[in-house]
């Protein structure tokens, strides 16, 4: 296998299933070695897939998969993830902050512990991972950081509304602020920092749990995580000195890169609750 990404190394959090796993496999198909940082080491019906499953699928594609059990609530486990990656591969080129927590409740009803969890996973953990990984990205001569977070303006997306989701969106917009600040800080180090978010619904464990809160019907398309994975691939194939500090909508980027037909990503939605 040859190509501009072959031999590069990516750390992806939350990569035992869903969007993180899809990105891991998409990059692995291009020859990127993947450090898989996630908690799950035993599969269950509620949480199918483990870090070891993803590692096996990465290696089936010809890349190297490094499963590292990581609970991103804890700084020492994030530090271990980074150090294990450097010890195994000697470099870091790509960081994808994908792991997260979600609970949609009005502020009055949202337990403070659950709010703290969302802030830990969606805000604090990406900060710590970037803090730990940036020196190695610099040593590699540059690279890419992708934060899975929404744009600060023009938020007219199928799955987003403020009412009942204030705590969650506070934590995700904090990650977008990390994107903006880091992009400026790393401008001269050839390290691109971008946020990536879908305009439509991506089929994951979380969206299936919150289906009834989305206030949509069968006419709204559901897309596989591969949509975001393909957009992530487009980002890391971009020149980091020219494509940074952006709040990217996946569907828009794919259209701009010559892939406007999203039909290949369509999946069957879950059964909708009908009144």
The answer to whether 136 is a known catalytic residue is no
3-class secondary structure, 145? strand
Q: Choose, from 136, 168, 223, 265, the residue flagged as catalytic.
A: 168
What one-character DSSP code corresponds to residue 88?
H
Which residue has 């977008």 as its token pair?
176
- CA-nearest of 208, 206, 196 to 268 is 208
Q: What are phi and psi of 246, to 5 degrees?
A: -105, 150
* CA angle 236–242–244, rounded 5-degree value: 65
What one-character DSSP code corresponds to residue 92?
-
Strand partners, 202: 223
Q: What are phi and psi of 109, to 5 degrees?
A: -100, -10
Sign of the Cα torsion 141, 145, 151, 157 reads positive
Strand partners, 36: 12, 67
Give the integer Cα–Cα distance in Å for 85 and 170.
31
Give the integer Cα–Cα distance in Å for 40 and 47.
8
Could you give the angle at which helices 226-236 and 18-28 cross, rounded to 10 degrees?
Answer: 50
Q: Which residues are catalytic?
A: 168
């Amino acid at each position: 296998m040859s190509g501009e990404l072959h031999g590069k190394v990516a750390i992806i959090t939350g990569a035992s299933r869903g969007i993180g796993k899809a990105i891991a496999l998409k990059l692995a198909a291009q020859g990127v070695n993947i450090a898989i940082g996630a908690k799950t080491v035993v599969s269950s019906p509620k949480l199918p897939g483990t870090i070891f499953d993803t590692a096996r699928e990465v290696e089936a594609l010809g890349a190297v998969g490094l499963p590292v059990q990581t609970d991103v609530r804890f700084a020492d486990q994030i530090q271990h993830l980074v150090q294990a990656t450097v010890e195994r591969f000697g470099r870091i080129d790509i960081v994808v902050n994908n792991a997260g927590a979600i609970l949609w409740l009005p502020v009055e009803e949202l337990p403070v512990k659950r709010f703290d969890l969302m802030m830990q996973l969606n805000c604090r953990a990406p900060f710590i991972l970037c803090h730990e990984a940036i020196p190695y990205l610099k040593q590699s001569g540059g690279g890419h950081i992708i934060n899975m977070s929404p744009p600060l303006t023009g938020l007219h997306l199928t799955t987003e509304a403020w009412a009942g989701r204030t705590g969650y969106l506070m934590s995700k917009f904090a990650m977008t602020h990390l994107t903006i600040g880091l992009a400026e800080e790393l401008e001269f180090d050839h390290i691109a920092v971008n946020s990536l978010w879908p305009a439509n619904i991506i089929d994951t464990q979380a969206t299936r749990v919150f289906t009834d809160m989305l206030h949509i019907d069968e006419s709204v398309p559901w897309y596989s995580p591969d949509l975001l994975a393909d957009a992530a691939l487009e980002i890391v194939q971009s020149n980091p000195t020219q494509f940074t500090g952006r709040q990217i909508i996946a569907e828009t980027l794919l259209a701009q890169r010559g892939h406007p037909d999203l039909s290949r990503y369509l999946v069957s939605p879950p059964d909708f609750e009908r009144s």
